Amino acid sequence: MNVTFEEWINNRNLPYWGTNFGTEAIAFQRWRHFKEAYAPEIVKRALSESEIPVKNCLDPFGGSGTTALACQFLGVVPTTIEVNPYLSDLIKAKLEFYDFSTLSKDLGAVIKRSYSITINIDIIRESLPPTFIEPGVKGRWIFDIECAIRIFKILAAINELDNSKNKNLFKVLLGGILIDISNVKIDGKGRRYKNNWINNRVDPVKVDKIFQVSVTNAISDITMYQQRKSLDYKLLTGDSRKLINETSDIDLCIFSPPYPNSFDYTDVYNVELWVLGYLKNAFDSSKLRKNTLSSHVQTKRVYSLPPKASKSLDLTMKELENVRNNLWNKDIPSMVGAYFHELISMIETIKYKMSTNSKLWMIVGDSKYQGIYVPVATILVELAIGLGFSVDTVEAFRSMRSSVQQGGRKDLKETLIVLKN
């Protein structure tokens, strides 16, 4: 018998539609913490408000896999695109169908092998940024040497597994605990060291304990919720702006793009990307950043010119240009303009692939620079109307906190936009 969507979410109550913040953790979504991921309930709402039968659904910014996983519970085949290879593998791990008999067996094999396997931590250290493993740089490092050895022995043991599904599952779960067993935490727009970390060395035993608990909990989730209404899916890894051309037959589209707040999400997962081997060198890191939407100025790139079909965007660009010399980065106006060019170009491509009377749902967030408000939702609605969409819904979800430079107040809107083809 299939597990229902309601059983999965435990019939919980949401303080906000647009984010999981403040809600209890649910199966699969606790494998790696995503504070800002939107709640799966919005996927059910989108299905219930669709005017046509929905057989398939597109999410071009996969993130934590919320849309894809919710679709499986609701009997819809998801197509998901994710540029971050770690997140893509995490989504894949959530959507897969597993052979229960091999999961516990392979976990035992990994634990046992991790104590006998030989690694060269000095060679591993050389393959990582210098701050990752003790002694680090200028007395700072992310992982104490004893913990690093346990992490990489477990990873080496995982890589010896023959079962590719189990190997991927264990690897992303190891990634999900890395920050907990490190000397840093993810805060604001990046990483910073934990308080008094130098005097609170992490016991290497904690690595094994947390990893085994994480895998055991994941196996429990899989055991309880594997019988979903649909187990099919399509997952594309890479630049959404290009891979959107490989999608087709869209009955419903639901996504939340990166907000144009100069927050490079690659930084949030930088530790996992390097430790798990997705990044091998600075070129890999730069390439990944350049494959992301122009929502940040953390990498040098050629910015596209802003689209011309929005009066609100025209005004915003003019105001940003007037303060360009006072901005903390002079590329910010160019980034904002390119953000809307790239996003509306993707939406235009999606429109041509959408069924008649189908809907596109997107959750977007406004930004603010040097006192200049960037009304993202308003601009996207104006641009979408220019493409021939009709506007079904514009619904404010909540207020987000602006950056410290902009006063740190909750004065940025997060908005749901529903467009009808």
Q: How far is CA 105 from the centre of its chain?
A: 30
What pLDDT does 407 receive? 44
Looking at beta carbons, which pairs linking 215-222 to residues 24 or more positions away fall under 8 Å?
215/107, 215/169, 215/170, 215/173, 216/107, 217/30, 218/31, 218/169, 218/173, 219/100, 219/103, 219/104, 219/107, 221/27, 221/28, 221/30, 221/31, 222/98, 222/100, 222/103
Q: Please, what is the Cα angle at 105 between 103 and 110, to 5 degrees? A: 95
Residue 402 above 50 pLDDT?
no
Distance between CA 140 and CA 377 in Å, rounded? 42
Among 204-208, 247-251, 262-266, 389-393, which stretch is predicted with the lowest mean pLDDT? 262-266
Nearest to 317 by CA among 299, 304, 332: 332
Q: Across the chain, what does the average pLDDT equal?
A: 91
Residues 88 and 139 placed together within one structural domain of the fold: no
- pLDDT tens per residue, range 350-393: 999 999 999 999 999 998 988 999 999 999 999 999 999 999 99
What pLDDT does 91 receive? 97
List the beta bridge partners of residue 364: 415
Final residue belonging to a domain, choices 207, 225, 243: 225
Distance between CA 263 and CA 363 in Å, rounded? 17
Q: Are 294 and 370 in contact (CB under 8 A)?
A: no
Angle at which helices 311-322 and 376-387 pack, to 10 degrees?
140
Final residue belonging to a domain, choices 206, 225, 244: 225
What pLDDT does 190 receive? 74
Residues 242 and 341 placed together within one structural domain of the fold: yes
- pLDDT tens per residue, range 315-334: 999 999 999 888 888 888 89
Residues 68 and 90 placed together within one structural domain of the fold: yes
Residues 184 and 253 placed together within one structural domain of the fold: no
Residue 31 DSSP label: S
Residues 266 and 403 placed together within one structural domain of the fold: yes
What pLDDT does 188 receive? 63
What pLDDT does 36 receive? 66
- pLDDT tens per residue, range 74-92: 999 999 999 999 999 999 9
Give the pTM.
0.93
What pLDDT does 408 receive? 44
Biggest alpha carbon–alpha carbon distance for the chain: 65
In this prediction, residues 286-311 reach a mean pLDDT of: 86
Contacts of 199 (CB under 8 A, 6+ apart): none
Q: Examine residue 135 and say whether the peptide bond preceding it is cis (omega within 30 degrees of 0).
A: yes
What pLDDT does 406 receive? 42
390-400 sheet: strands from edge to edge: 234-237, 77-82, 56-59, 250-255, 354-365, 412-420, 390-400
Residues 171 and 320 placed together within one structural domain of the fold: no
Q: Which amino acid is at 244?
A: I
**Both tokens assigned to 281:** 């060198």
- pLDDT tens per residue, range 130-172: 999 999 999 999 999 999 999 999 999 999 999 999 999 999 9
Residue 311 above 80 pLDDT?
yes
Residue 373 DSSP label: E
Give the range of the structural domain holding residue 126, as residue numbers without chain letter.
100-225
What pLDDT does 24 receive? 60
Residues 415 and 337 placed together within one structural domain of the fold: yes
Distance between CA 391 and CA 207 in Å, rounded? 50
Residues 281 and 195 placed together within one structural domain of the fold: no
What pLDDT does 78 receive? 98
Residue 410 above 80 pLDDT?
no
Neighbours of 300 (CB within 10 A): 9
Q: What domain count does the chain have?
A: 2
Distance between CA 358 and CA 127 in Å, rounded? 48
Residues 256 and 366 placed together within one structural domain of the fold: yes
The CATH number assigned to the domain holding 63 equals 3.40.50.150
Residues 68 and 126 placed together within one structural domain of the fold: no
User: Given pLDDT bands bounded at 50, 70 and 90, which one contains residue 18?
Assistant: low
- pLDDT tens per residue, range 174-217: 999 999 999 999 876 678 999 999 999 999 999 999 999 999 99
Final residue belonging to a domain, choices 225, 252, 276: 225
Distance between CA 44 and CA 39 in Å, rounded? 10
User: Given pLDDT bands bounded at 50, 70 and 90, which one contains residue 245?
Assistant: very high
In this prediction, residues 288-306 reach a mean pLDDT of: 84
Residues 313 and 415 placed together within one structural domain of the fold: yes
Write phi, then psi, for 77 (nearest 5 degrees). -85, 120
Residue 16 above 80 pLDDT?
no
Phi-psi region of 129 (alpha: psi -120 to 50; beta: other; left: phi over 0): beta
Neighbours of 341 (CB within 10 A): 19
Residues 289 and 389 placed together within one structural domain of the fold: yes
Decide: helix, strand or coil at residue 390. Answer: strand
